[in-house]
Chains A and B, each alone.
Chain A
Amino acid sequence: MSAGGDEGTDGRHRLRTVLRPLFGTPVNAALTVVILWLLVTAIPALLRWGIADAIWFTDDPKDCIQQEGACWAFVGAKARLIIFGRYPYDEHWRPLLAMIIVLAALVLSADWRQWRRRNWGRFLIGLWAVTIAASSMLMAGGIAGLESVEIDRWSGLPLTVMLSVFGIFLALILSVLLALGRQSKLPVIRWLSIAYIELIRGVPLISILFMAALLLPIILPSGFEISKILRAQAAFVMFFAAYMAEVLRGGLQAIPRGQYEAAETIGLTYWEATFKVILPQVFRLSIPSLVNVFIAAFKDTSLVVIISMHDLMGTTNAAISDPAWSGIYIEAYAFTAMVYFIFCGGISWYSQKLERHLKVGRR
């Protein structure tokens, strides 16, 4: 081809590079035809339902029931119920602010450029202690002129975010101990850790949630009230600690023996060697998998609807059950699915970036 580029052949060439993967082989041609047919039938129908025939604004539920298309006005009317749930209406800024604080702490902890800094780990532990305390106080109120709000009225997205983020942070601490215990040379500690990890991993999360909800009140001293939300939080910590311990075990096993021996040779004690030499390397290896556990935890907080709590999933069900808007549910589920998708998709996007960064760093 000449340097100037013949318009005709160049265009044909480009067309060929586009068409070859689509129609190059009989299998690909058949696939293309089937998929195109699917898209051609599905997309216009979806657009008609979701946009063209949809009702975006109305105060009267009757407008929606007659309509063929989506009723986004329903989501508009119920958005605050779905996101903030049963929290007092006039105080919605508090869960919003608490959520922003938690997410900001999350973003700050996720920035891998900072990880090399001195004492960053200690800083992060302090940061999370402050974040947990500040956001809980903001939600609970009763101080600094804030109206007191019962913990059982915390609901919606802030509850989902707090249950999963705080749960994963506390589970991480427990899981480090479990993973070290599982690799310990002391048989009693090793057996106990293995028994705990395998027991928890062998049963579904719901059974742990039921156990926490039903058994905690029985095994604690009478008169010691523990709210439903804290019971669920304890269940999440117990459950995800076992899974994170297994992830960390993978990392621990990947550390060459020489590292332990070198640490011992220069006279470090077990705990010094573990925290200064071994664990930093283990975290570097395991962080992408730990982030995957976090995604699972974020999705699995939705299980609390089963013990009739109102997290994001629970408030969605509450919105759907409004008889005034009867028959409308797809829109609310779509909205909630989108919120979950944005959070989980965002975290997994971060996880992929991080993995690439860590791989580049190793080379």
Chain B
Amino acid sequence: MTTFGDYQAPPFWRRPFFRRSAAQIAVVVGLLAVLSFFIGNASANLAKTSTTLGFGFIWSRASFELGEGITGFVAGDSVLAAFWAGIVNTLLVSLASIVTATVLGIAVGILRLSSNPLSRLLSSGYIELMRNIPLILQMLFWYAVITRSLPTPRKALSPIEGLYLTNRGVYFSVIQMPPSAFWALVALSVLLLATLAARATSRERTGSLGRLGDFRLAGAAVVAMLAVVLTTGSVDVPEIAGLNFKGGASITPEFTAVFLGLSIFSAAFIAENVRAGILGVSAGQKEAAASLGLRDGQTMRLVVLPQALKISVPPIASQYLDIVKNSSLAVAIAYPEIMRVATVVISEVGRSIEVIAIIMAVYLSISLAISALMNAYNKANLAKGT
């Protein structure tokens, strides 16, 4: 007969604590072995070419031009300045594409669910076509269309007055004004946005007088803006000078191609997220709104969209993250974003290990920043309750 007195503790190698510790130690040791193997090879290979690692090179002079940028980088500035120009270009083209893709995506997503069969057909055709063709092909296509098929500046295509499409880029008229007027406009638009935001977020929908006050303030802001523009502004129209345009503002073919490719491609994915969000709102909500006598448009705007937004925002935010990461494909058409700068630096200065570390750090920071924003938004939304 066995009693508990006969119980023998299992040998130490069968105890859970030992096994778990052993497994973890084995993994760490294995990983360290692989790493030291790689590092050993790397230092041997680097010693052969007598190079040392270090980030000192970012202070050295960059002997290359980047093509475009708003930071005013020129050859002769530091490599660090080149990287900064690249980061700004990445953020610029991403931001422009995010705005356009969101607007286009919401429109296509809503049309995809319309009661009109033609609009359903058109939008689902758009989504399927764009989602199944690689982004890089789309960017190369737009770039080829701009640089090969658009006319030279002398024969520029002008669909509307003051806008010229050429193989050297897009030229358009801008309103020029003194800096003081510009800052006045900025201040007025902040006021306008603040008024609209206050109205949108306030829960008070009953006080009609208060709303009227909001409208008056917003209206006054708009009138003041118009007044500033009309009195101080002058239109700067691009004009042919020699082989190219002078005056006005322009966008390069590279930026246009990256922007078009990213926006049109990403809009298809955002449209799907919007659609999923709208379908995620229960049918009862729509029926309740209809039985209250709201029209289709009102139901959409006041009942469905606010709830759909809550479902769609997280996936759309991850689309934004994808847009930033996908902007790196611009290197294929030499738009000087961070990845392009990195390849230029590698070919001019070398230092591939350090440069790759820098671009990874940059993208990780951008990703972390966007996810932090996203989490803050989610938290705020959860706190508000549904």
**Pick from B20, B38, B329: contact of A206, CB under 8 Å:** B329
* Complex contact B118–A22 (CB within 8 A): yes
Task: List CB contacts (< 8 Å) of B2-58 with chain A.
Answer: 20, 23-24, 27-28, 31, 38-39, 41-42, 44-46, 48
**Known interface pairs A219-B42, A329-B144, A329-B148; A300-B115 also in contact (CB < 8 Å):** no
Which stretch, B126-134, B210-218, B374-382, touches the partner chain A? Answer: B126-134
Interface presence of A207 (CB below 8 A): yes
The distance in angstroms between the C-alpha atoms of A185 and B17, with both chains bound, is 12
Interface presence of B173 (CB below 8 A): no
**Known interface pairs A219-B38, A222-B41; A344-B131 also in contact (CB < 8 Å):** yes
The interface residues of chain B lying within 8 Å CB-to-CB of A133 are none
Interface presence of A31 (CB below 8 A): yes
Task: List CB contacts (< 8 Å) of B320-353 with chain A.
Answer: 325-326, 328-329, 331-332, 339, 342-343, 346, 352-353
**Known interface pairs A21-B115, A32-B116, A221-B41; A336-B148 also in contact (CB < 8 Å):** no
* Complex contact A188–B148 (CB within 8 A): no
* Complex contact A214–B133 (CB within 8 A): no
Interface presence of A86 (CB below 8 A): no
The distance in angstroms between the C-alpha atoms of A25 and B296, with both chains bound, is 10
| Interface core residue of A31, A207, A295, A302 (most chain B CB under 10 Å) | A207
* Complex contact B356–A207 (CB within 8 A): yes
Which stretch, B152-160, B233-241, B256-264, B361-369, touches the partner chain A? Answer: B361-369
Interface presence of A84 (CB below 8 A): no
| Interface core residue of B133, B135, B346 (most chain A CB under 10 Å) | B133
| Interface core residue of B28, B41, B48, B342 (most chain A CB under 10 Å) | B41
Q: Give the number of residues in B that approach A within 8 Å (Cβ atoms).
A: 58
**Known interface pairs A204-B326, A218-B45; A345-B132 also in contact (CB < 8 Å):** yes
Interface presence of A303 (CB below 8 A): yes
* Complex contact A24–B115 (CB within 8 A): yes
The interface residues of chain A lying within 8 Å CB-to-CB of B353 are 214-215, 218
**Known interface pairs A222-B44, A306-B332; A36-B118 also in contact (CB < 8 Å):** yes
Interface presence of B288 (CB below 8 A): no
The interface residues of chain A lying within 8 Å CB-to-CB of B326 are 204
The interface residues of chain B lying within 8 Å CB-to-CB of A183 are none
Interface presence of B189 (CB below 8 A): no
The interface residues of chain A lying within 8 Å CB-to-CB of B297 are 27
* Complex contact B42–A218 (CB within 8 A): yes
**Pick from A31, A210, A300: contact of B134, CB under 8 Å:** A300
* Complex contact B129–A299 (CB within 8 A): no
**Known interface pairs A28-B116, A203-B364; A188-B24 also in contact (CB < 8 Å):** yes
* Complex contact A203–B41 (CB within 8 A): no
Task: Tell me the smallest distance from the CB of B261 to a CB of chain A, in Å.
Answer: 12
Interface presence of A112 (CB below 8 A): no
> What are 6 contact pairs spanning A and B, CB under 8 A?
A28-B116, A31-B118, A215-B352, A222-B45, A330-B149, A348-B132
Q: Which of B's residues lie within 8 Å of A, judged by CB?
A: 20, 23-24, 27-28, 31, 38-39, 41-42, 44-46, 48, 111, 114-119, 122, 128-129, 131-137, 140-141, 144-145, 148-149, 296-297, 325-326, 328-329, 331-332, 339, 342-343, 346, 352-353, 356, 359-360, 363-364, 367-368
